[in-house]
């Protein structure tokens, strides 16, 4: 479906400094990784795939149709690169997946009978809980 090797070459990866506490190490090293992928400039994706991605990922894309992802889970930049690339592939594959239409099925007669029987039993049970009528 997707040529991952060619698509990975189109990803732009940038190392940025992580936020939060962590001492001097955080202030010196850019371990957080930011991935940007311009969907409209991609040579790997077809026009149909680009349109489908734009429709399905409308809330995740910038105005210029750029997918931005960040990962700062690990203290290693290499691990963060791997994580963010996997995340990008899963997002793109999910957007390109076409869902099959659901075929409506008929409820079997036995199921309907069983439901009505249980309703009748429950109704009788509640009738028996009432106070007796004294005339």
- The residue extents of the domains of the chain are 4-96
| pLDDT tens readout for residues 43-101 | 999 999 999 999 999 999 999 989 999 998 888 889 999 999 999 999 999 999 988 99
Q: Tell me the C-alpha to C-alpha distance, in Å, between residue 34 and each of 16, 52, 97, 100, 123.
A: 7, 24, 25, 34, 62
What's the pTM value of the predicted model, to 2 decimals? 0.70
The answer to whether residues 38 and 63 touch, using CB atoms and an 8 Å cutoff, is no
> What's the pLDDT at 17?
84
CATH code for the part of the protein at 4-96: 3.30.160.20
């Amino acid at each position: 479906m997707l040529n991952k090797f060619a698509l990975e070459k189109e990803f732009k990866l940038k190392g940025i400094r992580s936020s939060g506490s962590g001492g001097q190490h955080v202030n010196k090293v850019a371990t957080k990784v930011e991935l940007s992928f311009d969907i409209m400039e991609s040579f790997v994706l077809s026009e149909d795939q680009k349109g489908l991605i734009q429709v399905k990922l409308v809330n995740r894309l910038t105005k210029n149709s750029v997918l931005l992802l960040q990962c700062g889970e690990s203290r290693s930049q290499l691990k963060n690169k791997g994580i963010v690339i996997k995340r990008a592939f899963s997002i793109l594959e999910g957007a390109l997946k076409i869902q099959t239409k659901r075929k409506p099925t008929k409820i079997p007669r036995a199921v309907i009978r069983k439901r009505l029987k249980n309703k009748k039993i429950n109704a009788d049970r509640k009738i028996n809980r009432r106070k007796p009528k004294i005339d």
